Amino acid sequence: MSHSILDTMPGASTGTVVVTDHLNFWGGKRVKPRQETNAEPVFEPATGRVLCQMVPCGAEEVDEAIKSAHAAQLKWSKMAGMERARVMLEAARIIRERREKIAKLEVINNGKSITEALVDIDIAWQCIEYYAGLAGTLAGQHVQLPGGSFAYTRREPLGVCVGIGAWNYPFQIASWKSAPALACGNAMVFKPSPMTPVTAVILAEIYKEAGMPDGLFCVVQGGAETGTLLCHHPMVAKVSFTGSVPTGKKVMEMSSKGVKQVTLELGGKSPLIIFKDCELENAVKGALMANFLTQGQVCCNGTRVFVQREIMPKFLEEVVKRTKVIPVGDPLLDGTRMGALISKPHLEKVLGFVSQAKKEGAKVLCGGEPFVPSDPKLKGGYFMSPCVLDNCRDDMTCVKEEIFGPVMSVMPFETEEEVIKRANNTTFGLASGVFTRDISRAHRVAENLEAGTCFINNYNISPVEVPFGGYKMSGFGRENGQVTIEYYSQLKTVVVEMGDVESLF
C-alpha cells in the first residue's frame, strides 16, 4: 500500500532520498508510464540533486484514468452521505497516523521547512475530516405548490472533476480539492505540478486503503500538455485549478469549449495595512507571517506592506531585526524556519526582481541575495536570504507584480482613505490584512478592500471551516468552508403534480 517510500522516511535525511516508484495512480494502483522517452527530472530544492523522473501522461493514459474515475464515481455516488463520510474519516485518520512521514517526503520534494510541512499535513486531514462531517448533511428543499402539488430539489454530484495543483502546497492542495469533491459524490483526477509529483500519489493510496472504490481518486503526472488533455476531455464535468493568472485564463478558455464548471485560485499581490494605533509587536509578527511562509511562495501573501508614516521607522527597525535572524538552511532540521525555493530558474527570477527593484530606486534593508548554507551537501540548493525593501513606490515592478519569493515591499501612507485606494489599485484580489486597535476602522477597512479574504490583526491563517478564494483576477469559486459544496454539486428541481394537467391545447 502507501508504505513503499513512506517506510524509508524515518531514517531519511536531506540529500539521501531517491524516488523510483511509479507516480501515476488509477484503477486502484500505481501505474507504470507507457513510454519513458520524454521524462523530466524532478529536483530536491535543498540540494539541487535529482530526486526522481516525472513522465508526463499522454492522451491514452489520461483517457484511461478518467474512465477509471467515471466507473468508480457511479458506485460512490450511490452511497449515502454517511457511508462516504465513514470512508473519508478513515482516510483522515491514516494521514494523521503518518503525518511525520508524509511531511518529510513533502519537504524533500518541495523545500519548505519541516515545521511548516507538518502544519500543511494537519490542515490536509482536517479538511478531509471537515467535509466528511458535511457529507451526511447534503440535502434539498421541499416547496409546497397550489392544490397539494409540490416540488423538491436534489443536490447531485457533477461526475468526474479534475484538480490541477500547484507546487507550493502539494499534499494540502490535493486534499483541499478532493475532500469537497468526494464528499459530494464526485470522483477526482488530480494532476500535481510537474515539479512536485511525489506526494499526491500517497494521498491516492491512502484513499484506497480507507475503502474508496478503485479509481475514485486518480493521479496523472504531466505539465501543460497533460493539463490540456484533462481540460478538453468530454467526460470531465469540472476543473479546479490553482496556479498563475496566465495559465488560469488558458484553463478557463479550454474548459469553456465543453462548458465545464471552473474554480480558479490564482495569484495575488495582497495589501497589508498597518495603522499607527496597532499593537506593533503583533503587526511585525503579522508582516513576517504574511511574507516569509514557504520561502514567500504563497499566493495570498501580503507582499505590499503599507505602514502609517508615524510608525514607519520603528516598524522597519523591528522587521529588519527579525528578518536578519530567520534561520535559513536544511529544511528537515527542526530549527530551520526557511528552506529552499522550488527551482533554480525560480530562484533566479526572484533575485531578478530584487535587482530590478534596486534599479527602480528601492533600498534593500536586508537580504535579497543567494544564500549558501555551511553544510556542504546544501551547496547546490536554491536558497536566498529573506529580503525587506524600503523606499518603494506604487508604480515599481516589485510592488505591482507577484514575486512569489521572500521579498517584502514596505511603503508609507498618511490616511485611511488614501491607503484603501492604493491597496485596491491592483488587478489582483486574493487577500488583504489590517492591523489596528480601532474596531470601527478594522471593519470599515475590511468592507472596502477588494479581496476574497481580509485578515484583521493577523495574517495567513487558513482554517478549513472558512471559504478561501479571490476577487478580480485572483480567480473565482471557493475552497474550504460550507459554500464549496455548491461548487462541487448541481441542483435538480423535481416538480410533482398531484392533480390534473391544465392544458392550453
For residue range 333-375, list pLDDT tens digits in order: 999 999 999 999 999 999 999 999 999 999 999 999 999 999 9
Q: Among candidates 323, 344, 341, 321, which has minimal Cα distance to 331? A: 341
Average pLDDT over residues 281-289: 98
Are the C-beta atoms of residues 489 and 158 closer than 8 Å to each other? yes
> What's the pLDDT score for residue 37?
84
Express the helix, strand and coil content of the chain in percent, nearest 5 each.
40, 20, 40
Are the C-beta atoms of residues 341 and 297 closer than 8 Å to each other? yes
Strand (E) or helix (H) holding 283: helix 280-292
35 has a pLDDT exceeding 90: no
Q: Among candidates 169, 245, 236, 212, which has minimal Cα distance to 220? A: 236
For 308-331, what is each residue's pLDDT tens digit? 999 999 999 999 999 999 999 999
- DSSP sequence for 196-215: --SSHHHHHHHHHHHTPPTT
Structural domains of the chain ordered from first start:
13-266 (3.40.605.10), 271-456 (3.40.309.10)
Question: To the nearest whole number, what is the mean pLDDT of the chain?
Answer: 97
26 has a pLDDT exceeding 70: yes
> What's the pLDDT score for residue 3?
61
4 has a pLDDT exceeding 90: no
2 has a pLDDT exceeding 80: no
276 has a pLDDT exceeding 70: yes
Q: In three state form, how does the secondary structure of 432-496 look?
A: CEEECCCHHHHHHHHHHCCCCCCEECCCCCCCCCCCECCCHHHEECCECCCCHHHHCEEEEEEEE
> What's the pLDDT score for residue 85?
98
Banded model confidence at residue 1, pLDDT cuts 50, 70, 90: very low
Average pLDDT over residues 398-425: 98
Banded model confidence at residue 36, pLDDT cuts 50, 70, 90: confident
| pLDDT > 90 fraction of the chain, expressed in percent and rounded | 99
Average pLDDT over residues 428-441: 98
The residues carrying an active-site annotation are: 265
CA 168 to chain centre: 7
Are the C-beta atoms of residues 92 and 128 closer than 8 Å to each other? yes
CB atoms within 10 A of CB 246: 10
> What's the pLDDT score for residue 258?
97
Average pLDDT over residues 167-193: 98
Average pLDDT over residues 171-198: 98
